[in-house]
Structure 1
């Protein structure tokens, strides 16, 4: 059984998504019903909704939309990783609201869609340090070329619990494995970072990728971070660009099928249950 730590839902009738206009096949609604129909068949027992970079004015409305869904009978959503803007002066008040809301399990600011220096600004880092000692995690979503920025951000807030999304977003198509591997190994030395094995099929060649093409990335993440600091996520619907949810679950099972039941249990569900108190 899986806990999906990275589910995106899109409802353009309720929220604005400025980035969708240039997102090609992702520019449509992706509903919980569509996800759940497939997820249940795959043994996905629970999910965390990951913010979808909605318009800043809709950040809190996104959490409320997901909460409404989660309250329906039979829904498997157990909480949200909410969007945030640590670069803004209003962040402390927003953080206080999030800490008081048990449905919010963590925060994320997508950092590859803004200027590289955003995460280096004093206000951003001072605000992020406010998460130290709280129950909230902070997801880092940066491209492989931004590994030095990710490392600097982590080192600026050693008491904050970070989650590195999508195996650090490797550029699998380019084949630049060794540089990515060195950067991941360095990040993994920081004990306050957990890595998410999620959706990397979207970063491989959509027509020709095989399990052997993505295996080194998934296996190195586990080798670097260890079985107690990895979680699994679908990155649905972005994973549809690499074959879809069933394909990604199948690839996951092919990569980790020879591991012990205890190891798979940690990656697939137990670590997520512990980290976010699910």
Structure 2
């Protein structure tokens, strides 16, 4: 079974989605379940995990509604304010939704490089395990140091790094990112999504050869049992299309055993998110 562990839906709003700049104009429109269903049929994808793109409870409810209406949406990564004083009650309420698997905060957008280590945020993360919720880590490379300290504080919590921590592939940034990713990968409760790689390279001129060292590093750091295929659709469309995005990953893992390939393309997502 092939599971896309990372994609988004939205009803485009120029203010809400102001992060979609002129270079990304191709995705300045609605992307909903009927759009993705067609793409999945063309690319032999069996299901997906839909991830929040907006930091509101309304976004979480929007994704849950889509998941209720569309069986191919196997899981949801929503948003709650993990810093809220009543976080326990919020998590208890959402725990009744079987397709809600975990949460994410757009940490990459926080000015404080140590945001993950703030006491009120740590309190919220500490409450997740009780309800078997996962946490997706969305960061830039300069936040990796704090991320390493962060994941060490919660050895039983299931974490996954989104988009291989968004290294600046376009600029050839590698060494500092690689050192910290190896250290984070040594924490056995942390997984990594091989997603969002083409959009960290040059949209128009990226090549598999340029991206391969980054993939090789995360394969070394996390191993084939803790890597998850993700498309980052529709964001991936700014640097190609869904088929190119999927083919890039299958090309990279082609030398692995069939069992390892199946794990990366679906089984690891099923295990991590309890789909």
TM-score if structure 2 supplies the norm length? 0.92
Distance in 1 (alpha carbons) for counterparts of 2:60 and 2:215:
30
The equivalent position to 1:136 in structure 2, one of 126, 133, 140, is 133
Who is 2:234 aligned against? 237
Q: In structure 2, what is the Cα distance between the partners aligned to 1:134 and 1:254? A: 37
Instruction: Quickly say closer, same or farther: Cα 1:109–1:10, change in 2 above 3 A.
Output: same
Gaps of 5+ in 1: none
Q: Which has the higher contact order (CA 8 A, sep 6+)?
A: 2
Instruction: Indicate the residue corresponding to 1:151 in structure 2.
Output: 148
Structure 1 segments of 4 or more deviating over 6 A?
Answer: none
Task: Give the drift of 1:252.
Answer: 1.1
Is 1:115 matched up with 2:117?
no
Q: Deviations over 1:107-137 (max 9, x none)?
A: 1111011232432211111221112354211
Aligned length: 270
Q: 1: CA distance between counterparts of 2:69 and 2:154?
A: 37
The answer on 1:267 being equivalent to 2:268 is no
What is aligned with 2:43? 42
Matched, 1:191 2:188: yes
For residues 44 and 220 of structure 1, do their structure 2 counterparts lie closer, same or farther at Cα, with a shift above 3 Å needed? same
What per-residue deviation string (whole Å, max 9, x for no partner) do you get for residues 222-277 of structure 1? 11111111111111111112112111011112211222111100100111112222
Contact persistence 2:103–2:133 (CA under 8 A):
yes
Deviations 1:9-52 (A, max 9, x none): 0124xxx6854124122332112222221122111100011011
Counterpart Cα distance in 2 of 1:232 and 1:42: 14
Q: Residue 246 of structure 1 aligns to a residue in which SS?
A: helix
Instruction: Please report the TM-score for the alignment, with normalisation by the length of structure 1.
Output: 0.91
1:32 corresponds to: 33
Asked if 1:83 corresponds to 2:79, the answer is yes
Partner of residue 66, structure 1: 63
